[in-house]
Structure formats: structure tokens, C-alpha cells
Amino acid sequence: METFKKLKGFYWPHKKYFITSMIFLVLVTGITIVYPMILQVTIDDVILKGNYQLIPYLALGFIGVMLIKGAATFINQYTGDLFGITSVYHLRNELYKKLQYLPFKYYDNAKTGDLMSRLTADVEGFRFFLSFGMSELLRFVLLIGISLSVMFYYSVSLTFVTIISLPFLAIAVYKFDKAVHPAFRSIRKSFGKLNTNVQENISGINTVKSLSREEFQIGKFNHSNSDYKDKYIFTSIIWAKYFPLMEFLGNICVIGMLGYGGYLVINGDLMPGELVAFYSLVGYIIFPIMNLGFVINMFSQSKASGERLLEILEADELIKDVDGAIEKNRIEGYVEFKNVDLKYSEDDQEALSSISFKAEPGKIIGLIGATGSGKTSITQLITRFYEPTNGEILVDHVPVNEYSLNTLRRNIGFVLQESFLFSSTIKANISYGRPEATMEEIIEAAKRAQAHDFIMELPDGYDTMLGERGLGLSGGQKQRIAIARAICVDPGILILDDATSAVDMETEFKIQKAFKEVMKGRTTFIIAHRISSLKHADEILVLENGKIVERGKHDFLLSNGGPYQRIYDIQFKDRNYIMQSQIG
């Protein structure tokens, strides 16, 4: 029950629904036990004794009991469902909230499909047990307890003969639980992998089709689907193995009861009606114990789901606000790195090593180097997407971890290398980081990003709805909207992570021209592979293997004969070769 204790904060505040449901469950169960007693009175006191005048009263009484039971059952089931639905409503909200604040490091290893499975299938599995499983468990306990009490009232000796095999049935149920729980946990994991497979395939459908890998993806899905099927078949084998055994042990109770009970009736120690009532009461004991496997099944699935949900809820946020974190409306933009090292995990090599530099407010810092050299890592440390392994990072002469995350990130405009747009209007995408922005400010941001003209050519202009991930726009158009989104925030620090990589040379020239105005008064970090994007930078940092190997302005680096000049020569020669080919 440790899993349920940890999740108690989500369902116990709604205990009024649970308690109400349980009160009416007791009433329903009590009425259920009355049925065999009415049957016993009908046989022994009416039929055998010839008191037929009692039949109308018994019939009316039975109808009244049925009406009361129907009303009680409705309230029991409704409040039970209300308990489960309300509990997981808050649980699902908390899970989603937690996912918003988990660091990049968590998502480096997480699978999207698996996370979706946890927020849907696992939450629903936990809800089903709260709504139905807990109620069933209590109903079984009440049925068995009250039935045994009535049976002892009718005949102590017959009761003992009847329940002699029940301990063996209980042992079988216990072993079934021990076997079925790991099986259901493996099913949940397999389902998460299956979800991930589907999600990745749909997200990457353009790549799949462009490389004609449909058959490969089908085979990959079949493998995951086959694993899911095998896990379910294995669980079915457990069910098929234990349920016949439990049914056999339950039937031994019935055989013992009928044999010894018939003997008592013949000797006059038990009335026929009492034996019939006894038979019904035995069913109220045996079937709950046998169906306990069904409840255990729900409990096992719910426990497995709860464990997977706790893995999210208990995940360390790592990066969060310190006590008394600084709140500021505006950051001026001074940035300093002091001997900063970064490792993404203990087993990885250093992504950054001994990084030191200063960026004065309003200056432009260029970052260039081969893929994996550490360019993006530097900018992700400024925004605290990751924490440095060693060293210190200052913003406006204050360590970045002393700012609230909201203050820090609200003052940093970030244009990622891969532009992500939401399934919403263009207007909502541009104002995403600043929802209170006026339409004039949104249009101004779009103009600066050279996006206004193509937006106005769309059917609904700024109210045009975009498909998933900006489907319907070209790569360059998506990138310009992402740039407009960063400009709209009006940040003190602007980070452009290869922000013009998806646009043509003419559009890049227009954006660079617009950026000259946008960059005024802001500290700007430009990550680029094209030297043309960095020529105007106040300082260019050249990185190799996580280290700064050169620094300076464009002209100085060109005359230095180092890595920067080699990059320039390669790009210049490539451009000359292309121009000569076109002339030829």
C-alpha cells in the first residue's frame, strides 16, 4: 500500500465522496443479505407451514427492499465515481504541472509516447480502482463478514464444514496476486514503448516517406506490438492457471455444505429453508473470494500505474528557485562566465571546459565552431536550462541561480535552431511569451523579423490557424515567426541559435538588416555556421571540443591564421566554386 500512501494527498481531500459511497455500500450489502433470509422465511414459514396469507406481505416487503436497494446503489455508484474522477482530475493537473517544471536533463532521457501513456492510460487505471476497486474490496469484506454471521446463526457445525477449504482458496488468491502484479507492470511499460513508437512515427512521417522507410517502420511497430501482445498472453496464462484452481477450491465448499447440510435436514437439525438460504450465503462468500482475483487485478494495475505516476511526481526538479530569489522587471544584459565547466551526466565527457568571457550590455557575441563544440551549451547555461558542473555565471553581476527562473527567462529571448510553433493562430504564436502584447506590437515584431509580408498573404492573416508544429509553412517562414516571438518579448538578452539556418541568402540578409535595429540596447548571442552572420559581432568566440580556442573581432581573427580563418576559407572557397559552376 506504499504507493497509495504516497498518492494519498490527491484522493483523501475528497474523502466525503468516498465515505458517502461506503455508507450506502453498507446499506446495499445489508439488503443483499436479506434476500436469502426472505427465501428461508418463504420456504419454512409460508410453504411448509401453509401460512399463505403472508405471501402478499412478503411480496410488498420484497418490492420495498428492492426500491431502497436501487436508490442506495445509485448513490453508492455515483459518489464512488465522483471520488475517483475528482481525485484524478487534481492528480492529472499536478502531473502536467510537474512536467512543465522538470529540467531539460529529465527530457533528455524521457520518451514522449511513454509520458503520454502515463498521463492517459496510467491515470485512468488509477481512477478505475478508486472509483470501483476500493468499493468492491469493501463490499467483499462486508459480504463475507455478514454472510458468515448469518451462517453461524443457522448452524455452527455446518458453517465450519463449509469454510474448511477457504484458507486454501485464500492462499491461491495470494499467490495469484504475487504473480500478476509484475506481469501488469511489464504490460504498462510495453504499452509506453508502443505509444512512443507511434508518436515518433507520426512526428517523423515526412522523413519516413522521403526515405521510403515505411516497411521498416511497420516492422518496428510490429515488433513493439508483438512484445505488448506477448506480455498480455503471459498475463492471460497466469489467469488461466489460477482461476480453475480457485473455482475447484470454491466448489469443495459447496459439496461439503450440500452433503452435511442434507444430513442435518434429514435428522431434523436444520430446516429446508435454512439449507437453501445457506446455499445462497455460501455463494456470497465463495464468489467474492474468487472474484477477489478481479479486484486484485485492478489493484495490481492501479499499483503499477501509481508507481509510474510517482516516477514523474517524485522526479527531482534540480533547477528551481532558491529562497528569496530575485525578482526584476528588466535585466540590463551584462553576462559573465567564470571558469565554467559542464557535464550533462557523470558518464559523459565535458561539454564545456574552463569557459570564461564577459559580454557588456548591448554587445553582440558570436559563437562559432563545429557541431558538438559547445556553442548551444553556453547559451543554455545562461537561461539555466542546465546547471554548470563548476564555475560561476553572472547576469548583471549577480549569479544566475539567485534570480527567479521567471525573471531570468522572461528577460531572455531565445530563438532555437529548430523552430517550434503551436497549433494556434500566428498572432498567438508571436505573443506566446508576452500574452498581453497589443496587436501593434505583434505586427511590429513580425515586421522586424521580415515575417509581416508573407503573413498578410495568408487567407486570415495573423488569425491564420497553423497545423501541428507549424504545418503549412515553409522552414524559413516558421523560423521568422519564431524570431518575431523572441522580439515580441522585448528581452534584455537575445539568443539566436542558428536562427537563420533555414532561410535563403536573400531572406537572411533582410533578417540581419532587421536585427541591427533589434539588437540595439540588448546583449545578443549569435550561434551560426555562416561567418556572414557573425561579421558584425563585437566579439567572436571560436569553440572546439568545449573550449574557447580563439576570440576577437572578425578582421582580427581573419588575420590570425587560426581555426576561424580556416572556416572562412572553406566557406569562401565553397561559395566561389558554386559561383564558378553557375557561370560555367
**Does any domain span residue 199?**
yes
So what's the pLDDT on residue 581? 44
Q: Are residues 401 and 470 in the same domain?
A: no
What is the C-alpha separation between 260 and 74, in angstroms, rounded? 39
Q: Which of 313, 345, 364 is the last residue before a domain boundary?
A: 313
CB 405 within 8 A of CB 487: no
So what's the pLDDT on residue 578? 42
- CA torsion angle 384 385 391 396 (round to 10): -30
- Helical pair 505-518 and 475-488, crossing angle rounded to 10 deg: 0
Stated as kind and residue range, the H or E segment containing 368 is strand 364-369
Q: Are residues 77 and 125 in the same domain?
A: yes
**Does any domain span residue 572?**
no
Q: Which of 313, 336, 358 is the last residue before a domain boundary?
A: 313
So what's the pLDDT on residue 541? 94
Q: Which of 256, 284, 313 is the last residue before a domain boundary?
A: 313
Q: Are residues 337 and 263 in the same domain?
A: no
So what's the pLDDT on residue 67? 92
Q: Are residues 133 and 169 in the same domain?
A: yes
**Does any domain span residue 569?**
no
What is the C-alpha separation between 357 and 74, in angstroms, rounded? 70
So what's the pLDDT on residue 577? 42
CATH code of the domain containing 65: 1.20.1560.10
| pTM of the predicted model over 0.75 | no
Number of domains in the chain: 3
Q: Are residues 181 and 112 in the same domain?
A: yes
Q: Are residues 453 and 530 in the same domain?
A: no
Tens digits of pLDDT across the chain (584 residues): 788 888 888 888 999 999 999 999 999 988 888 888 888 888 888 888 878 888 888 888 888 888 998 999 999 999 999 999 999 999 999 998 888 888 888 887 777 777 887 888 888 888 888 888 888 888 888 888 888 888 888 888 888 888 887 788 778 877 887 787 788 778 878 887 887 788 777 767 766 766 677 788 888 888 888 888 888 888 888 878 887 887 787 778 778 888 888 888 888 888 888 888 888 888 888 777 767 767 777 787 788 888 889 988 888 877 888 888 899 888 889 999 999 999 887 777 889 999 999 999 989 999 998 888 888 899 989 989 889 999 999 999 999 999 998 888 888 888 877 777 888 889 998 998 888 889 999 998 888 888 898 899 888 899 988 876 556 687 778 888 888 888 888 888 998 887 666 566 676 676 666 667 677 778 999 988 778 778 888 999 999 999 999 999 998 998 888 888 888 888 776 555 444 444 44
CB 298 within 8 A of CB 133: yes
What is the C-alpha separation between 285 and 292, in angstroms, rounded? 11
Q: Are residues 249 and 123 in the same domain?
A: yes
Q: Are residues 262 and 373 in the same domain?
A: no
CB 171 within 8 A of CB 270: no
Q: Are residues 74 and 195 in the same domain?
A: yes
CATH code of the domain containing 434: 3.40.50.300
What is the C-alpha separation between 316 and 98, in angstroms, rounded? 10
Which residues constitute the domain of residue 24? 2-313
One-character DSSP codes across 387-454: --SEEEEEETTEEGGGB-HHHHHHTEEEE-SS----SSBHHHHHTTT-TT--HHHHHHHHHHTT-HHH
Q: Are residues 286 and 334 in the same domain?
A: no
**Does any domain span residue 32?**
yes
**Does any domain span residue 137?**
yes
So what's the pLDDT on residue 413? 84
**Does any domain span residue 564?**
no
So what's the pLDDT on residue 337? 95
Residue 475 corresponds to which amino acid? G
Q: What share of the chain is helix, strand, coil (3-state, %, to 5)?
A: 65, 10, 20
Q: Which residues contact 222 (CB under 8 A, 6 or more apart)?
A: none
Task: Determine the straight-line distance between the first and last CA of the chain, rounded to whole angstroms.
Answer: 78
**Does any domain span residue 567?**
no
Q: Are residues 191 and 256 in the same domain?
A: yes
Q: Are residues 207 and 237 in the same domain?
A: yes
CB 551 within 8 A of CB 357: yes
So what's the pLDDT on residue 388? 92
**Does any domain span residue 18?**
yes
One-character DSSP codes across 322-351: PTT-B--S-----EEEEEEEE-SSTTSPPS
